[in-house]
Structure 1
Amino acid sequence: MADHDQSLSLQELPPHLIIEILNSNRLSGTDLAFLEQSCKTFGGRSIHGLFPPNFRSMVDFAAFQLCSLNPLFASLPSNASNELFNRCGANWKRVLRFLQSIKQSSNMAETSSGNMQITTGRYHTLLIKDSSVYCCGFNPYGVLAQGHGIPFCNALTQINFPISSIKVSHISASHNHAAFVMKSREVFTCGSNSYSCCGHGEEVGQSIFRPKLVEALKEVPCKQVATGGSFTLFLTEKGQVYTCGINTHGQLGHGDTVAEPIPKLVHEEDMGCVVQIAAGPSFSLAVTDDGKVYSFGSGSNFCLGHGQQQNELQPREIEAFNGVHVVSVAAADEHVVGLDSSGFVYTWGNGYCGALGHGDESDMMTPELVHSLKGHLAVQVCARKRKTLVLVDDGSVYGFGWMGFGSLGFSDKGSSDKVLKSQVVESLRGHHVCQISTGMYHTVVVTNKGIVLGFGDNERTQLGHGSLKGFLNPIDIIVPEKDPY
């Protein structure tokens, strides 16, 4: 019988067990790098024959295997995966960190304080923490789901759903309405139902003050929502897109300008399998699993990326991305930002105040690479009124455009200054940011420690502080303990 008092060194563990631990999918690229540096068993070639000779170490091989299992990496054509590998200095651990950071920033961020997701509306903030939702800021038309007669939420306040056990997996907020995807894949909406943008058909124009199930999608499992200006996009598990609400410019993608009171399917043949959606004030964007981008709706400010300002009533592929595998897009009021599978950033639309990051205020009619960010691996892009923020794989944040009451985070600049080229947000240097979202005049980030920080305007308590004072430097936003009832 084994002597339980006798301890084994790491080097004495069976090699196959070490490989199993490394491939558990519980370790990050940073974890693997630490193991490689701190232990010769992981960092050297002491265990012969356990991994192919073209890998530098057991950890290097484990990182490669984890990359191969990643859905995004698996979807890349060989030229795109090779470019990413080279961009990461032929380092599989950094490739893995990039892929994991993309997932963290676009879905639920796994922090040391729990799983979190942040999103900002025009003058409000919504946060998921461990499947519960909290909100603060301005509450027009019931967008914060707190019931009648509550104009503001001065601090993060829990949103209650009809069923107390319900768990939320994704949220989106626009000017006056919000949408929530449950872990059950059902969708709830609330706020202004102008043009039936909440998808409840029979209640045209009536505000919805508590989260309400979108009955039309009850049997259609959804995974993502995007709220625009009085319209909503719903992305299903199968990669289909449904839309409802106002359709003056064709932003619903049905080939006409007829408003839809309940979610209606956008024809699949127009796009294929969609993996991400985004909504501007009157235009829509969709990214497919093969890296293509489709746009439809208002062509104002060249936001559709086709080189002209013509409206598109049906999804149209942005041809400027031919040969580029796009993974996500962000829609602002008058410009758009795209991110490709190699961590490059592209912008197009209205360049006022330097929102496109090209060193001037010129408009871009089609997507243009942001050259000042070429030396960085971007993992998330977000944009709102005349400004853009970019998160890179080491947890740093870069910004450009209009300071907008301090919402770019540059504490050394005036509240209305312009930043024409990307600059690192120094005030966040002490934090590893894993997710970011920006509203009209405020910005909120989540760190890997689960700290929520905000900066910019707070006149409508969108930063969760009742003082109404704005903040040029990041300030902690207190996340309350979950209500047990």
Structure 2
Amino acid sequence: MADRYRLVSIEELPSHLILEIMTAGRLSAIDLVCLELTSKTFGGSHGLYPHKFKSMVDYAAFQLCVSHGVYNGMAWNAQKELFDRCGGNWKRVLRFLQAVEESSGMVETSAGNMQITTGRYHTLLISNSSVYSCGSGLCGVLGHGPETTQCVAFTRISFPPLAHVVQVSASHNHAAFVLESGKVAAGLNFTVFLARQGHVYSCGTNTHGQLGHGDTVDRPTPKIIESFEGVGSVIQIAAGPSYVLAVTDNGAVYSFGSGSNFCLGHGEQHNEFLPRVIQTFRRKGIHVVRVSAGDEHAVALDSSGFVYTWGKGYCGALGHGDEIDKTLPEPLNSLKSYVAVQVCARKRKTFVLVDSGHVYGFGWMGFGSLGFPDRGVSDKVMRPRILDSLRAYRVSQISTGLYHTVAVTSQGRIFGFGDNERAQLGHDTLRGCLEPTEIFVPELKADTCLASESE
């Protein structure tokens, strides 16, 4: 009877059961690497799969890749190109897919699930379903009530009981939160929502057609964008000040709203009142997986980790070594030797996170928001440049606001740089940081927020 319930080590389990365990959960690519290095059981070949797989872990990584939503939406040639770009390593392919998925939502760190996002003069953080904010409380964006004008450190926002926040988006004057599932993107006085089924809704100001309903009528409540019906499921949305970019599961990019600075990617500056596909990507067979909408320019990431930029080139925000506007998306050739996993654009600056965890920045260095302390004779970085001060850390996510930037590492550490005049970096003694400085999240304290003089 005792033998019937004998404890066994994982090495004694049947190979097919070990494989089932590895592919059934939410193991990351790094988790699989650790398993492979830990035991011969995971690193060796057991005859369960074709000989082209070097180990059980390699086969598990392959299985996780082919079941991943982003990978499934890619054409065969795009899948092959990604595999080749990753050196024929399925674990690296999986790492790319998981990093892309996390770039616009929660990232898994050693300290738990986290997401960081920056607004104009404020920062919002999700850490294990708790939401924190710091910076300027203008228009109530910090979520602590009308009496709060500023939080000088990350302070927990009070949500209703059982509320489970999974994503947040911050804009100039407001913030939007997602409970349970879905995604949201906040623009200047308007908001776009992405439901779990791939439907897109919008509400708010509609002066440039940024709500995507074919008119310029404001909408006080969310209304579904009917034009997306039949074009495929939308998997990601990004909102600029007055325009929107949307990525579908088949790799197409649609844009609508203000055409100023060529941000819509159609080669002209006309406003678009309905979603319009960006033909440059479609004609060239480029499968886009993520986009970022800056104030005056935009950035896209394709399924092979290549980066594209377009819009206003002032201060080198497009990374092509000049300040020339690009009316259509153009590849960022200086980063072609790297596999990018996240792109992030805001006012006159851009960040690219590559799969090694290193961050490259370019554009305007104002207030130190690019993270380069050696300003020298120019405040412009015309081509992608690595942030040396973050080399020692594996960055998992980055977000940039008007004049400040915040990054989260794989260990759950938070670093910020740039303007801190309104405490948007979570420090109460510094006016600004020219290079990344660690930010700590204290427990909820009453003295971290400042009330208005009328209170």
Q: Which amino acid aligns with 1:272?
A: G
CA contact 1:32–1:63 (8 Å) conserved in 2: yes
By relative contact order (CA 8 Å, sep 6+), the higher-ranking structure is 2
Is the 1:360–1:420 Cα contact (8 Å) retained in structure 2?
yes
Equivalenced residue count is 442
Give the 3-state SS of the residue equivalent to 1:153 in structure 2: strand
Give the secondary structure class of the aligned counterpart of 1:151.
Answer: strand
Q: Which residue of 1 is the match for residue 20 of structure 2? A: 20
What is the Cα deviation at residue 411 of structure 1? Answer: 2.4
Aligned residue number for residue 171 of structure 2: 174
In the TM superposition, structure 1's runs of 4+ consecutive aligned residues that sit over 4 Å from their partners are 1-13
Structure 1 CA distance for aligned equivalents of residues 320 and 230 of structure 2: 32
Q: Deviations over 1:135-165 (max 9, x none)?
A: 000111111121123221111111112x233
User: Shift of the alpha carbon at 1:314?
Assistant: 0.7
CA RMSD, 1 decimal: 2.1
Q: Within 5 Å, give how 1:159-238 maps onto structure 2.
A: 159-161=157-159, 163-183=160-180, 185=181, 223-238=182-197
Taking a change above 3 Å as real, the CA distance of residues 28 and 138 of structure 1, as seen in their structure-2 partners, is same
Q: What aligned pairs does 1:406-417 form with structure 2 within 5 A after superposition?
A: 406-413=368-375, 417=379
Change (3 A) 1:130 1:482: farther
Q: 2: distance between equivalents of 1:244 and 1:24? A: 38
- Shift of residue 386 of structure 1? 0.4
Contact 1:345–1:369 (CA<8 Å) still a contact in 2? yes
Match of 1:123 in 2: 121
Of stretches 8-17 and 473-482 in structure 1, the one that deviates more from structure 2 is 8-17
1:278 pairs with 2:255: no
Q: Distance in 2 between matches of 1:302 and 1:43?
A: 50
Please tell me whether the aligned partners of residues 270 and 314 of structure 1 are also in contact (alpha carbons under 8 angstroms).
no
Q: CA deviation at 1:264?
A: 1.5
5+ residue gaps, structure 2, are 446-455
Match of 1:262 among 203, 221, 234: 221
Secondary structure of 2:351 counterpart = strand
Match of 2:451?
A: none
Identical counterparts, % of pairs = 63
Selected match of 1:347 from 295, 306, 309: 309
- 2:78 corresponds to: 80
What is the SS of the residue equivalent to 1:358? coil
- TM-score, normalised by the number of residues in structure 1: 0.87
Q: TM-score normalised to the size of structure 2?
A: 0.92
- Residue pair 2:139, 2:173 contacting (<8 A) in 1 also: yes
Which of 370, 381, 391 is matched with 2:332 structurally?
Answer: 370
User: What is aligned with 2:207?
Assistant: 248
How does 1:45-194 map onto structure 2 within 5 Å? Answer: 45=45, 47=46, 49-161=47-159, 163-183=160-180, 185=181
CA distance in 2, matches of 1:233, 1:38: 45
Aligned partner letter, 2:407: V
The AA in structure 2 aligned to 1:470 is G
* 1:428 corresponds to 2:387: no
> Which SS does the other structure have where 2:168 is aligned?
strand
Q: Given the superposition, is the C-alpha separation of residues 20 and 249 from structure 1 closer, same or farther in structure 2, using an over 3 Å criterion? A: same
Partner of 2:33, secondary structure, is helix
Residue-by-residue CA offset, 1:368-426 (whole Å, 9 max, x unaligned):
11011111111111111100001111211111111121111112335961111111111
Distance 1:397 1:12 in 2: 42
Deviation for aligned residue 1:35: 3.5
Look up the equivalent residue of 1:22 and give its one-letter code: M
Q: Which amino acid aligns with 1:173?
A: A
Which of 248, 258, 271 is residue 298 of structure 1 equivalent to? 258
Kept in 2, the 8 Å contact 1:25–1:66? The answer is no
Note if contact 1:172-1:226 (Cα within 8 Å) is conserved in structure 2. Answer: yes
How far apart are the structure 2 equivalents of 1:464 and 1:152?
A: 10
Q: Which runs of 5+ in 1 are unaligned?
A: 186-222
**Alpha-carbon distance in 1 for matches of 2:166, 2:27:** 22
Alignment of 1:392-471 (within 5 A): 392-413=354-375, 417-471=379-433
Report if aligned partners of 1:156, 1:479 keep a CA contact under 8 Å in 2.
yes
Cα–Cα, structure 1 residues 18 and 2, in superposed 2: closer, same or farther, change >3 Å? farther
Q: Any idea what SS the aligned residue of 2:229 has?
A: helix
Which segment is superposed worse, 83-92 or 104-113? 104-113
- Report the Cα offset of residue 4 of structure 1: 11
Please tell me the residue identity of whatever aligns with 2:335.
L
CA distance in 2, matches of 1:342, 1:482: 42
Structure 1 counterpart of 2:276: 316
Once the two structures are superposed, what CA deviation does each residue of 1:304-332 show, in whole Å capped at 9, x if it has no partner? 00001111111100000011111111111
For residues 37-48 of structure 1, the aligned pairs below 5 Å read 37-45=37-45, 47=46
Q: Distance in 2 between matches of 1:20 and 1:260?
A: 48
Judge conservation of contact 2:369–2:403 (CA < 8 Å) in 1: yes
> In structure 2, what is the Cα distance between the partners aligned to 1:78 and 1:272?
18
Q: Which moved more, 1:168-177 or 1:8-17?
A: 8-17
Q: Please tell me whether the aligned partners of residues 404 and 415 of structure 1 are also in contact (alpha carbons under 8 angstroms).
A: no
Alignment map for 1:331-346 (pairs within 5 Å): 331-346=293-308
Query: C-alpha offsets along residues 59-104 of structure 1, whole Å, 9 cap, x if unaligned?
Result: 2111101111211111211111111111101110100111111122
